[in-house]
Structure 1
Amino acid sequence: MKRRALLTSLAGGIGALAGCLDESGVGGPGGTDTTTRDTTRRTTTEPTTDDPATTDDRTTTDDDETTTEGSDRFEWDPASEEPFAESAIGDRDSVAFPDNNRPAHVRVWNMADEARDLRLTVADGLTDELDGPGSVTFPADEWYELTLQVPTLYTVTLLDGDETLQTLEFDHGDFDCNSGAHMVGVEADGTTHVTAFSTAVGCPAPEITATSLGAGEGDCASRDTSTATVSFTDDGVDIEGTLVTGDPCYEVSVGDIGYNPKTDELRVTLTTQPGDGSCMNCVGAVPFQASAGLKHDLPAHVVVRHQSNGETTTVAEAMRNADA
């Protein structure tokens, strides 16, 4: 079962607290202030909860897994309940198991008493190509919402001109069955306050429902390494490739397949062994197609390995939505 971390505090980064939240993701933050200073900027990170009461004790309930901790909260309190503008990155139509991969939200509040221009950029975490709304004119005491639609790696950066005010990192673990938001408040002097909160129900992890494997007729190999490509489908994973073997008559079977919830990784190990009878005297290349059916969710990563003659080599590695 996938579970969101209940409390994380990073100086100058994201403070995350799992608290109660309605489906809209709007709640009333609270929590503990952690402040860091450098020569250019003050950054404040506060774990939060939507419980308006402050307390010195942390309480957890099994039903909603709500957590309350600390006091001296950062209060999200812009003039309006709705954002003055919003934008989205990605297409929800391409998301498999959408109920278990809800969007991630970034909300930026101009806490100053006058309008200001800020920039929001989004890098995909792989190529660092920038996307996002770019320059936005924020009215005084109003907030903007950016929605990340597709589960993958993101780096969201908030800038004042060329000066970085805050950077938020996202990965597949930030997209699950919970509702929440990362919230950034920017004071007139550039001080930033960052909170993250969400519901904290247990989300179902990927479960393997079926596997299949087919192998074609082998031939003499034109290369000395095995290859494979991984495709993520709406309800599983497809793998296609060629295994280099002792001769073209080797047989292919699934040695092991399993999902690791700690790494969000599906690992598929294919084994090859000599076939019966005589065969061509050359190094073989045996084509194969394999698939794994899944329910609840897809893994973030897939690793394909080839096991033969006591040795195991990695043939392919793939990340879900790498090209989102």
Structure 2
Amino acid sequence: MRRRQLLTAIGGTASLAAVGSVGGARGRDATGRLDARRRYYRRRFRGFDDPETETRPQGGVFPEGKTPFARVTLGTRDGVDFPENQTARTVRLWNDSEETRTIGYRIRDGAQLRLWQIREFPAGGWLEITLNQPTDYVVAVDVEGAFGGEVEVGAFDCNVATTTIRVDDLGTVSSTTKSTLIGCPGAELVETTLSAESGRCGTLEDADVIREDEAVVVDGLVLTPNPCYTAKVVETRLEDDVLHVTIGAEKSTDVACIQCVGHVPYQSRMRFRNAYPRRVVVDHEVNGRRTRMLDTELV
């Protein structure tokens, strides 16, 4: 189809001019450069003037095999629990355009701004970002000073995943993620230990749980008939990714004891392989009395 026929098909010369002027004045901006939409349509319809002219391949195909013009690393792998099951994530920010452009990117971890940079991206160039610390990130992209969009990056596991953020000719931001499809191993309870202090008079009873150094740690006070008791682990069980912990108590001496209600401070540590459990349930069980102390998601 020649140019005259094409213009007729889309509504004539006036229609083409109207499309070229969307979002601002046609022609060149204050710097003398063609505005983005005019550049886009000039490239889009290139080749219709002459059937022998070869058109430029359409964008959207990432230049695999080429190297990024720069690399950025956010965080380190130090202190990452179960590192083989929480691999680093790669983000590729790609200027899919024939023009050099100024692109800014802001990386947030929840409400915390972790990185903010503004760079000149060469035509067709891309930047590689490595995210080392497992968490949920949001990458916000600005194109020539205007907000372009946000992309969520998360789901750290044993798979190798790469998120490509594309900025097209018109400054539109989109993303795709490619990942391996390995089945990642789940949490496996390896060892349970407990340490307890001497009992004392008191009526407090509680429990708290944290995760640290690939272990789930339960700190608490278990209520006893008198202070001459010590804490013990009745049961630890992992079922459907839920850790069930039952803490009991037993007499520490048969001699006469002071007559007051007692409680025993304790700490139980459960070491895991591969991953943490999703949820933790803690019960206290003493002399047939069972009390649910907590049932919580492990975060």
**TM-score per shorter chain, which class?**
0.5 to 0.7
Q: Is the 8 A contact 1:242 1:288 kept in 2?
A: yes
What are the residue-to-residue correspondences of 1:30-45 with 2, within 5 Å?
none
Q: Per-residue displacement from partner, 1:20-68 (whole Å, max 9, x unpaired)? A: xxxxxxxxxxxxxxxxxxxx9xxxxxxxxxxxxxxxxxxxxxxxxxxxx
Q: Is the 8 A contact 1:180 1:199 kept in 2?
A: yes
1:272 maps to what in 2?
A: 248
Q: Per-residue displacement from partner, 1:170-198 (whole Å, max 9, x unpaired)? A: 1xxx2222222011111132322311111
The answer to whether the aligner puts 1:241 opposite 2:225 as a matched pair is no
Question: Across the two proteins, how many residue pairs are aligned to each other?
Answer: 235
Change in 2 beyond 3 A, CA 1:270/1:279 = farther
Could you say what secondary structure the match of 2:78 adopts?
helix
The answer to whether the aligner puts 1:209 opposite 2:167 as a matched pair is no
Change in 2 beyond 3 A, CA 1:240/1:313 = closer
Could you say what secondary structure the match of 1:204 adopts?
coil
Could you say what secondary structure the match of 2:159 adopts?
coil
Could you say what secondary structure the match of 1:94 adopts?
coil
- Amino acid across the alignment from 2:269: S
Q: Is the 8 A contact 1:79 1:142 kept in 2?
A: no
Q: Per-residue displacement from partner, 1:86-127 (whole Å, max 9, x unpaired)? A: 2122211322333332101111111122222222222223xx
2:282 maps to what in 1?
A: 305
Cα distance, 1:145 vs structure 2 = 1.5
- Amino acid across the alignment from 2:119: V
Distance in 2 of aligned mates of 1:156 and 1:232:
28
The answer to whether the aligner puts 1:175 opposite 2:168 as a matched pair is no
Structure 2 unaligned runs (5+)?
A: 1-22, 24-58
Cα distance, 1:167 vs structure 2 = 2.4
Q: Is the 8 A contact 1:272 1:307 kept in 2?
A: yes
Change in 2 beyond 3 A, CA 1:304/1:282 = farther
1:96 maps to what in 2?
A: 81
Mean alpha-carbon deviation: is it higher for 105-114 or for 131-140? 131-140
Of 279, 283, 294, the residue aligned with 1:314 is 294
The answer to whether the aligner puts 1:132 opposite 2:115 as a matched pair is yes
TM-score, normalising length: structure 2: 0.66
Q: Is the 8 A contact 1:101 1:176 kept in 2?
A: yes
2:42 maps to what in 1?
A: none
Q: Is the 8 A contact 2:148 2:173 kept in 1?
A: no
1:165 maps to what in 2?
A: 149
Could you say what secondary structure the match of 1:112 adopts?
coil
Could you say what secondary structure the match of 1:189 adopts?
coil
Q: Is the 8 A contact 2:70 2:128 kept in 1?
A: yes
- RMSD between superposed Cα atoms in Å: 3.2
Distance in 2 of aligned mates of 1:243 and 1:163:
53
1:83 maps to what in 2?
A: 68
Cα distance, 1:133 vs structure 2 = 4.2
Could you say what secondary structure the match of 1:99 adopts?
helix
- Amino acid across the alignment from 1:212: T
Q: Is the 8 A contact 1:156 1:167 kept in 2?
A: yes
Structure 1 unaligned runs (5+)?
A: 1-39, 41-73, 320-324
Distance in 1 of aligned mates of 2:70 and 2:239:
40
1:119 maps to what in 2?
A: 104
Higher CA-based Rg: 2
1:27 maps to what in 2?
A: none
Distance in 2 of aligned mates of 1:283 and 1:112:
75
Percent identity (aligned): 29
Distance in 2 of aligned mates of 1:138 and 1:239:
48
